[in-house]
Structure 1
């Protein structure tokens, strides 16, 4: 049994967004398999945006995000689901990650205060991205640049390993059968805690 934190990163609370359904499907699969699975919907949270480097390195995690922070620290596996907007994470989703992965939460300060070590070692992650373009075009033409950045420079730097990804493309054109297939895939990933 694993402890899993699922971050539903769509910033719009409207239930019709695919990301909400994918996040819920993953949680259902995980719970059915006996895992502990906490789902945090970023759209339901109000929190301040970091504006200065000192806010990241010295300010505590806002009180409203303490439950998500505690779930992250307790989790064996992190799942982040978000839509691709302007080639990357929505701004509010990135702002959430900046608050959640505060310096003292995600990193150990080096004695000389230079190069920090990630505290998330021993934890795995999966990033799920929905997009309007074909997933293959994002991967080949755009080289999945924002996903690579998130996997290597944020999650990997904090210590998550391995960091796997799942891409769902052409979501606006997807019919009921295709969406149903995607939801079943997410349930299966949840059961496997992968």
Structure 2
């Protein structure tokens, strides 16, 4: 299976980097093909600029002209995204939200004419253009305890990404692996998480 990994963390010594290594090891050991989008290494520009908003407005009626307005990095990502049979996102949660590059990826790449199109219902109805995509796995790290993230801060990732983005465009198989209170965990617990993640990736159906 062709698995696209979308990764966002600027520090090579981070726990997210260890997660990326575990994800990669598990997928390769099971015979999956990997395509890594490292948003930091790619110097991905997360900002929605005026030309991007113009393209967004044009996309319903003239998707090819809209696509031509987008920056070359987004254009290069389109075919890779549409070729994916599974997408794995790896990123930290900072101040209860995803980092800027990951939010920009959602804004600029999960885009009309690239990831979805509109139905006859207009802007409220969407249909996925990711015809090969079988599922999405999101792996996040945070230092906030799960109960606080859910009850006090409103669980923004679940609301905005899992439901507000991927459920909305019709991705049925959605999994979120949330690793919480990371700084407070022992090295043994962190290693246990990495082992579990490697196993989960190895177990993805072909």
Q: Which bin holds the TM-score, normalised by the shorter protein? A: 0.7 to 0.9
Larger Rg: 1 or 2? 2
Q: Do structure 1's residue 118 and structure 2's residue 116 form an aligned pair? A: no
Q: Secondary structure at the match of 2:113?
A: helix
The CA distance in 2 between the partners of 1:63 and 1:24, in whole Å, is: 28
Paired position in structure 2 for 1:165: 176
Paired position in structure 1 for 2:204: 193
The CA distance in 2 between the partners of 1:113 and 1:139, in whole Å, is: 32
Moved segments of 4+, more than 6 Å: none
Paired position in structure 1 for 2:195: 184
| Alignment RMSD (CA, Å) | 2.2
The CA distance in 2 between the partners of 1:83 and 1:4, in whole Å, is: 20
Instruction: Describe the superposition over 1:52-110 as per-residue Cα deviations: whole angstroms up to 9, x where unpaired.
Output: 43243544243224443322211111111111112111122101222221210011244
The CA distance in 2 between the partners of 1:140 and 1:113, in whole Å, is: 34
Q: 1:66 to 1:147 in 2, by over 3 A?
A: same
Paired position in structure 2 for 1:30: 27
Q: 1:137 to 1:89 in 2, by over 3 A?
A: same
Q: 1:189 to 1:62 in 2, by over 3 A?
A: farther
> Which residue of 16, 20, 28 corresponds with 1:19?
16
Q: How many residues align?
A: 191
Paired position in structure 2 for 1:97: 106
Shift of residue 184 of structure 1?
A: 0.8
The CA distance in 2 between the partners of 1:66 and 1:27, in whole Å, is: 25
Q: Do structure 1's residue 73 and structure 2's residue 82 form an aligned pair? A: yes
Paired position in structure 2 for 1:64: 73
TM-score by length of 2: 0.81
Instruction: Describe the superposition over 1:97-145 as per-residue Cα deviations: whole angstroms up to 9, x where unpaired.
Output: 2222121001124468543322236521111111011224323443423
Shift of residue 192 of structure 1?
A: 1.4
Which deviates further from its counterpart, 169-178 or 111-120? Answer: 111-120
The CA distance in 1 between the partners of 2:152 and 2:122, in whole Å, is: 39
Gaps of 5+ in 1: none
Paired position in structure 2 for 1:50: 48
Q: Secondary structure at the match of 2:40?
A: helix
Contact 1:118–1:157 (CA under 8 A) maintained in structure 2: no
Q: Do structure 1's residue 107 and structure 2's residue 106 form an aligned pair? A: no
Paired position in structure 2 for 1:4: 3
